[in-house]
Structures are given as structure tokens and as C-alpha cells.
């Protein structure tokens, strides 16, 4: 029996760096018995986005649908059938949106005996909300305040996210890890879920962040959010120039929640996090008891200091922060 690894994200847990590593080290992975499939990725290290999207029946408005769903499925199927490796790997943060019944049926129809294992990384919901908001303002014309965005945060109930995958492929086949924003070891945490050892060491992942995933500062974020409300030709080239200018001038980190607000947001998910941790993390992980996943880039004192500096810009109600909002009370 072969093993099919499905790396399903979550987004904002280092997936861009992880996929870039996989693309760079495909030969080493293959020598270690793991076939990082070329179909869709083409060796570029961008993941199998088109394949995952081919199973999404109701894509969000911000998503470009798969260009040739039948074609990418056929190409992937042919590669799986032809592979002689004991393990195969597909990676896309779009998998959580897929129709799991359709995906499971497709796997069953391959005619290859496969054990499916699901790799899922999670992140403390306060920093997840800030990071995702940053990206959505930069790329997707988001105009809501950070607090309003956090109130509508999707895919952050990790116990619920995993339940459907566990029901389909078995809870014992879910491999979960917690992303640590301060450690800078997202690639290593991902590789820990694979059976291969002695793989090439991860390089500095800063080069892998790419424009789409590189966070912008507080002033740049405010400028983009305001400009998102009007029609502009050649928006992204303009934004690139603006962001580069703010960065060169020494922009502030876009910390948009105080320590109290961040804690209130985490508390909303504490019960779900504890269930998730008990089901899928090491039993010794503190989240099993507290529901706090940890792994945050900023401690409370640093967060409040940076938050105060952002607020001192005078952004207030019309800008990035709602003065009275406690973010998900």
C-alpha cells in the first residue's frame, strides 16, 4: 500500500515557504521515497492549487476557478498510477474548500491502493487574523476594519475543520502541528510530518515569502485600505511602489489588536482548540488543557507596545482600529 499525503494548509502557516522547499528539493524527496507530484506544480514549488480547486464546487468570489478541472485531475491520476515511490505528496491550502466526497471518490477510482494521510498546520487565531487581514487588504481590496474582519474570520475553528477530514479518512490519519511565528521553522515543522529523514536543511524562508505573502506595515495597510474603496487602473503596480516607499521610510509593524483584544479573540476558540489539541496534537501540549495554541510572534508586552505605536499614528475609528472594539467579545 502506498501513502498519499494531502497537505491542506492552513493558509498563513508557512505554506508558501513549504511549497517552495518541496519544489527545490523534489529530487531529494524522491530519493527518500516521497514523490512530490509534478502535475499542476510543474516543479515551480507553488503547490497543487489547480488540482485542489478542481474539487471546489462553490469557490469564494476572490478565487479564480480551476482552468481545466478534468485535465488536471487526469494528469494527476496518471502520475499517481505511474509513480513507483512508496509515498506521494500533494500540497494546497485550497483543499479545505474541496468537496471531500468528490475527492475521496476520485482517490478510490484511481485503482491504486492508497492510505491517505492529512497534514494540517494551525496558528494562534489572533495572529492568524492579523496576517490574513494584511494579505486581503493588500491583494483582495478588503475595506473592513481589522475587528470587523476578525468577527467574520473563516476556517479558524480547527476542531470543526478537521472533523470532516477525520470522518472521511480517519482521525488517526490527521497529522497536525502548530505554526510558531517567532521560531521561523515552518518548513521543519511540516517536514516532521513526512516519513523521510536526512532531507536538505530548510534555507532562509524569507526569500520564499513572495509579494503575495509578504506583510506590509501599518501606514501601507491604511493607504491600501483607503484606496481599496475607489477604482484605480493598474492597482497592484501602484501598490508595489507605495509599499516599497513606506518600507524604505521605516513603516511600523501592522499590529492591529491589543493584548486584551488578542486574548479575547483567542478565548473565543479556546474550547475548540482544546478539543483539536486532544485529538491531534501531542498529549503534553499545553493547549490540551488551556486551549491556547501558543506559537505567537509577539508576547503581550511587545504586542501592546507595537499596538500603541500604531494607534499613535491617529488611525482611530476611520483607520485601522475601532477604539471601543474588543475583537470577538
**Would you say residue 159 lies in a domain?**
yes
**Would you say residue 132 lies in a domain?**
no
Per-residue pLDDT at 102 exceeds 70: yes
pLDDT score recorded for residue 38: 96
C-alpha cell at 273: 482548540
Quick one: how many helices (H) and strands (E) in the chain?
Answer: 16, 5
pLDDT score recorded for residue 213: 79
Which band of pLDDT confidence, cut at 50, 70 and 90, is reported for residue 209?
low
Q: What CATH number is given to the structural domain containing 91?
A: 3.40.50
pLDDT score recorded for residue 207: 59
pLDDT score recorded for residue 195: 94
156-176: average pLDDT? 97
Task: Find the range with the poorest average confidence among 25-39, 147-161, 309-323.
Answer: 309-323
Which band of pLDDT confidence, cut at 50, 70 and 90, is reported for residue 225?
very high
**Would you say residue 29 lies in a domain?**
yes
Per-residue pLDDT at 319 exceeds 90: no
Return d(Cα 251, Cα 320) in angstroms, integer.
15
In terms of pLDDT, which residue wins out, 62 or 23?
23
Q: Is 227 exposed, middle or buried (0-12, 13-18, 19+ CB in 10 A)?
A: middle
pLDDT score recorded for residue 247: 95
pTM for the structure as a whole = 0.93
**Would you say residue 107 lies in a domain?**
yes
199-223: average pLDDT? 81
Q: What is the pLDDT of residues 129-140, one digit of tens each?
A: 999 999 999 999
Per-residue pLDDT at 318 exceeds 60: no
**Residue among 212, 232, 221 nearest 256 (CA):** 221
Residue with cell 492510505: 115
8 A C-beta contact, residue 123 and residue 293: yes
pLDDT score recorded for residue 43: 83
**Residue among 88, 99, 12, 8 nearest 49 (CA):** 8
pLDDT score recorded for residue 61: 85
Q: What is the pLDDT of residues 268-302, one digit of tens each?
A: 999 999 999 999 999 999 999 999 999 999 999 99
pLDDT score recorded for residue 323: 47
Per-residue pLDDT at 324 exceeds 60: no
246-262: average pLDDT? 95
In terms of pLDDT, which residue wins out, 206 or 51?
51
pLDDT score recorded for residue 203: 80
**Would you say residue 95 lies in a domain?**
yes
Per-residue pLDDT at 155 exceeds 70: yes
Helix or strand holding residue 121 (H, E): strand 114-122
**Would you say residue 278 lies in a domain?**
no
Structural domain of 96: 2-124+155-209
Helix or strand holding residue 6 (H, E): strand 2-7
Structural domains in the chain (count)? 1
Q: How far is CA 159 from the centre of its chain?
A: 16
Q: What is the pLDDT of residues 60-97, one digit of tens each?
A: 888 999 999 999 999 999 999 999 999 999 999 999 99
Q: How far from 222 is each of 187, 241, 327, CA to CA, in Å?
A: 31, 15, 19
User: To the nearest whole percent, how much of the chain has pLDDT over 70?
Assistant: 92
Per-residue pLDDT at 16 exceeds 90: yes
CB atoms within 10 A of CB 188: 17
**Would you say residue 305 lies in a domain?**
no
pLDDT score recorded for residue 325: 47
Q: How far is CA 37 from the centre of its chain?
A: 20
Amino acid at each position: 500500500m502506498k501513502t498519499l499525503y494531502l497537505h491542506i494548509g492552513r493558509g498563513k502557516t508557512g505554506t508558501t515557504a513549504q511549497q517552495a522547499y518541496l519544489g527545490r528539493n523534489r529530487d531529494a524527496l524522491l530519493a527518500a521515497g516521497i514523490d512530490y507530484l509534478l502535475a499542476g506544480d510543474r516543479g515551480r514549488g507553488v503547490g497543487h492549487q489547480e488540482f485542489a480547486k478542481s474539487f471546489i464546487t462553490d469557490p469564494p468570489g476572490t478565487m479564480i476557478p480551476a482552468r481545466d478541472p478534468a485535465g488536471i485531475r487526469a494528469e494527476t491520476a496518471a502520475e499517481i498510477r505511474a509513480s513507483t515511490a512508496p509515498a506521494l505528496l500533494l500540497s494546497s491550502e485550497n483543499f479545505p474548500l474541496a468537496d471531500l466526497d468528490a475527492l475521496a471518490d476520485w482517490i478510490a477510482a484511481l485503482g491504486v491502493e492508497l492510505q491517505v494521510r492529512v497534514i494540517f498546520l494551525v496558528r494562534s487565531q489572533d495572529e492568524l487574523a492579523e496576517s490574513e487581514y494584511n494579505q486581503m487588504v493588500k491583494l483582495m481590496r478588503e475595506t473592513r476594519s481589522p475587528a470587523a474582519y476578525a468577527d467574520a474570520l473563516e476556517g479558524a475553528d480547527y476542531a470543526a475543520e478537521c472533523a470532516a477530514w477525520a470522518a472521511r479518512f480517519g482521525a488517526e490519519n490527521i497529522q497536525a502541528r502548530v505554526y510558531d511565528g517567532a521560531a521561523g521553522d515552518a518548513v521543519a515543522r511540516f517536514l516532521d510530518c513526512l516519513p523521510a529523514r536526512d532531507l536538505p536543511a530548510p534555507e532562509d524562508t524569507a526569500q520564499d515569502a513572495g509579494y503575495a505573502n509578504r506583510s506590509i506595515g501599518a501606514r501601507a495597510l491604511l493607504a491600501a485600505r483607503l484606496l481599496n474603496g475607489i477604482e484605480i487602473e493598474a492597482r497592484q503596480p501602484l501598490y508595489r511602489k507605495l509599499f516599497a516607499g513606506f518600507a524604505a521610510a521605516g513603516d511600523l509593524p501592522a499590529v492591529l489588536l491589543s493584548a486584551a483584544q488578542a486574548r479575547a479573540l483567542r478565548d473565543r476558540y479556546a474550547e475548540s482548540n482544546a478539543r483539536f489539541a486532544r485529538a491531534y496534537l501531542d498529549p503534553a501540549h499545553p493547549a490540551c488543557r488551556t486551549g491556547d495554541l501558543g506559537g505567537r510572534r509577539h508576547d503581550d508586552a511587545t504586542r501592546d507596545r507595537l499596538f500603541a505605536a500604531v494607534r499613535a499614528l491617529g488611525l482611530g475609528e476611520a483607520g485601522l482600529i475601532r477604539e471601543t472594539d474588543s475583537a470577538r467579545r
